[in-house]
Structure 1
């Protein structure tokens, strides 16, 4: 699926979502103009004068590869979480530079396309919706937005049905097994899926424990998870398969 296409879906967009679709690009353009006018640093290399320089924008080009979760589930990632990609994602999450979502979009779109193709290979057909992994309440209060949701909205139909069922400890510093224990039972789906096909989406995959928990929560409510996708994945020596 080319970067400029969306995941096929059956629902017509609501007036509110259509308005968001019109205002989003305008908001991003205004933010980029403000960054240039105020001498903002490039999120990738720190060069002054633009939100993302040409070299760093090129470095965000999709390099789709596949990693595996602790449960052995495949996750298609748009690029390795390293270099300019890692710095751009952190700029969104830590500095609120949401205009960069547009530049992260191609990697996310190609990852979703790869997950969709894998689902089609098992006989699954569209319509398929994207389910973003939920952001913690604390992170949402701090940022005012949810990164996976912003990424999903640039690609296709979104079903934000996953919510936190309980609080979890900070995942940073935890090893693979500890992360699995930390997130176990931490999500739930707000409504039954009745067999509807979906792809689970996150911004960054580290061990994949969070993705496993998201899939568990969805399948418990009857959603048919045909694949998992992320903008980027932490490089791992044992997960090197590329498209």
Structure 2
């Protein structure tokens, strides 16, 4: 029998098609990949949304610290290398399918953080409040990154906060400047009798999370902790 040619390899195998449509679905997925190419969000390997090696680098390594007001903070990943690339793909490229693996890491940080909340509040008795996305970010992306991450973690976000005034660009600001820049960027839209954990996607100085905590506490809400998916190297060098 002559060896298979490239043309033979390109032909569909009739055995791949079953009465249940598995073969048809596979063929459709293959055709769709030609129209809409997919590549690994971590390393650009073609044909996959997230390769096994990059997925392994999203394994959470929970790290505990404190916000400037003493609120316990837990983070799952370092915002660098592959984790940073994958988070950027979710935030800037609209690749919401990455919310599941990233949400798994966030969920681990939530569980880890709740174990360190004074009084040991269980997940069932805590409201998980996302830092609200700005109006400009919602218009640009069409979704709230933190809420998508929480749903990827299997956690129902409780919208206690709403955006306030727009903040200026934080990237070149120091710690004190960042804290002043975010004042007034959030307001309380609802209250709860439950203890609250505030969640954000990436934390650098903690100014945004600190403002969220301050606004909620000023409204009489008990905030017992903060969680972020990732911490920037700038924060980790503290």
TM-score (norm 1): 0.78
Deviation at 1:129, TM superposition (A): 1.6
Could you tell me which residue of structure 2 aligns to residue 190 of structure 1? 189
Could you tell me which residue of structure 1 aligns to residue 147 of structure 2? 149
Alpha-carbon contact 1:36-1:49 (below 8 Å) kept? no
Deviation at 1:105, TM superposition (A): 1.4
Q: Secondary structure of the residue that 2:125 maps to in structure 1?
A: coil
> How far apart, in 1, do the equivalents of 2:98 and 2:225 lie?
25
> How far apart, in 2, do the equivalents of 1:124 and 1:156 lie?
16
| Structure 1 gaps, min length 5 | 1-29
Q: Say if 2:98 is the partner of 1:97.
A: no
Deviation at 1:237, TM superposition (A): 4.5
> How far apart, in 2, do the equivalents of 1:177 and 1:100 lie?
33
Q: Secondary structure of the residue that 1:142 maps to in structure 2?
A: helix
Residues 163-202 of structure 1 mapped to structure 2, 5 A cutoff: 163-193=162-192, 195-202=193-200
Q: Where in structure 1 do 4 or more consecutive aligned residues deviate above 4 Å?
A: 30-37
Deviation at 1:133, TM superposition (A): 0.2
> How far apart, in 2, do the equivalents of 1:62 and 1:31 lie?
31
1:53–1:33 Cα change, 3 Å: farther
Q: Secondary structure of the residue that 2:132 maps to in structure 1?
A: coil
> How far apart, in 2, do the equivalents of 1:124 and 1:54 lie?
35
1:58–1:123 Cα change, 3 Å: closer
Could you tell me which residue of structure 1 aligns to residue 39 of structure 2? 41
1:50 to 48, 72, 75: 48
Residues 216-235 of structure 1 mapped to structure 2, 5 A cutoff: 216-235=214-233
Could you tell me which residue of structure 1 aligns to residue 72 of structure 2? 74
Alignment RMSD, CA only? 2.3
Per-residue displacement from partner, 1:5-53 (whole Å, max 9, x unpaired)? xxxxxxxxxxxxxxxxxxxxxxxxx999955874322110111111111
With CA pairs under 8 Å and 6+ residues apart, which has the higher RCO, 1 or 2? Answer: 1
| Structure 2 gaps, min length 5 | 1-27
> How far apart, in 2, do the equivalents of 1:93 and 1:33 lie?
27
Which range moved further: 200-209 or 64-73? 64-73
Per-residue displacement from partner, 1:183-218 (whole Å, max 9, x unpaired)? 12321111232x321111111111100000001111
> How far apart, in 1, do the equivalents of 2:205 and 2:138 lie?
22
Deviation at 1:71, TM superposition (A): 2.8
Residues 20-39 of structure 1 mapped to structure 2, 5 A cutoff: 38-39=36-37
**Which protein has the larger Cα radius of gyration, Structure 1 or Structure 2?**
2
> How far apart, in 2, do the equivalents of 1:36 and 1:84 lie?
25
Aligned residues: 208
Q: Secondary structure of the residue that 1:188 maps to in structure 2?
A: strand
